Structure 1
Amino acid sequence: MGPPRLPLFVCVSVSRAPFSLCRKAVGIIKFHGHEIVTHPAYRRRRGARKGELVFHRSERLFLRPIWPEDWQGVLGGIRDESVVRNLATVPWPYDENHAREFAGRAFDPFHPTFLATRASDAAVVGCIGLGAVEGREAVELGYWIARPFWGQGFATEAGRAVVGIARVLGHRELESSHFLDNPASGRVLRKLGFEPTGRIVQRHSCARGQEVEAAEYRLRLVASEGERQRAA
């Protein structure tokens, strides 16, 4: 028996959220067998000028934008030194003020950040998103998974969803990296199709308060002209 069939639409009602996402309100983009759900009404409420707010339902996860009231779920998942030490820009100790600030950030429709929740019970599994790289026209994939959910394939599942969303948004290439003492993230990136660039760089870790060696990866989302000609 194959995996359960995903619904044609996703219907969500979030406590204290501005609206309930319902059947008549959503737009559906089908991509590689997945449903990417957009909601223009919510985009207007949040003030995004271009693009649409994206929701994604994979086999076990529901990826949605982070709302201010999600700060407790974020804090519960990331307030763990074993999680934070593997991230570049997250401080340690991580407290309520950090979580509130993160959950209250404005949504960028072209560099979305998602709260990854377990579809069966809405438990916060982690966060994943796309970020602009300062000073360069580059897009970086970043994520964290709460420790109770390590080793269950959630990072790979969420990563595949966000890579698909990046393609729909028109991004041509993604970058990512991991600290050398966190090889598990390297395995996830390879499963997503990222390739090592061969470069080892010094990247600052806010949590550790020092520079840490990191391996860089790249994933091309759009084939080059030479590759297209060879394929033809």
Structure 2
Amino acid sequence: MTVGAPGSEVVLETSRLLLRPWRAAEAGVLRELWTERDPRVPPHRRIDKDGRPTVAELADAIRTNRMWSTGLLAVERTTSRDVIGYCGLVDSGRGSAGEPELAFELLRRVWCQGYATEAAVAVVEWARSSGHERLWATVWDWNTASRRVLAKVGFTETDREEVDAVHGTMLFTTRRL
């Protein structure tokens, strides 16, 4: 794993992946992620009836660093140089102060190839080397694939959950570093 020097942009490298800042030209990948989301995902995280966010809006958000300043890195395959999703740390406010949340999402066409686990391991190691003592991750109870990834990288489910009658139950997981 390669990590940028303190104060520089974060770049993480694994045997198959490069995790790095987003480029505006990759907004189409983000739009594709939005279109693939499960219909049980809350509406504010899906494409709305007016087709928003658009590729142009997502590109602008990347360019102005509005959406990606939280530490979500583009996940790029090193052999094909294509971006397949994101993984990183966000300050969701769901965990304790100073304890970020691990977040990841990959395009459906690359599921079941170990990429999410590989990217998550790199981000967990980055968090440990950055001095974090614990990470959180939230996951819908129906999202068995993401629950498996979290378990593989050492997260355990807590007793905390948020029940939503429409979208399901949000489970809270944590991992000590």
Q: TM-score, normalised by structure 2?
A: 0.82
Tell me by how many angstroms 1:175 deviates: 0.5
Secondary structure of 1:79's match? helix
Which whole-Å CA distance do the structure 2 matches of 1:220 and 1:88 have between them? 32
Residues matched between the structures, number: 169
Secondary structure of 2:81's match? coil
Tell me by how many angstroms 1:78 deviates: 3.7
> Structure 2: which 5+ runs fail to align?
none
Structure 1 residues 86-97: aligned runs within 5 Å: 86=41, 90-93=45-48, 94-97=53-56
Structure 1 residues 76-95: aligned runs within 5 Å: 76-82=32-38, 85-86=40-41, 90-93=45-48, 94-95=53-54
> Structure 1: which 5+ runs fail to align?
1-33, 40-49, 205-209, 222-232
One-letter identity of the residue aligned with 2:2: E
One-letter identity of the residue aligned with 2:76: T
Match of 2:101 in 1: 140
Q: TM-score, normalised by structure 1?
A: 0.64
Matched, 1:187 2:143: no
Match of 2:2 in 1: 35
Match of 2:7 in 1: 51
2:126 is aligned, of 144, 165, 176, to 165
What value does the CA root-mean-square deviation take over the aligned residues? Answer: 2.6
Match of 2:18 in 1: 62
**8 Å Cα contact 1:69-1:103 kept in structure 2:** no
Which whole-Å CA distance do the structure 1 matches of 2:104 and 2:42 have between them? 8
Secondary structure of 1:35's match? coil
Match of 1:8 in 2: none
**8 Å Cα contact 1:141-1:176 kept in structure 2:** yes
Tell me by how many angstroms 1:99 deviates: 2.2
1:76-119 deviations in whole A, cap 9, x for unaligned? 3442233x7557962324532452244232554xx421000111
Q: State the structure with more CA Rg.
A: 1
Q: Give the fraction of aligned pairs with identical amino acids, expressed as a percent.
A: 26
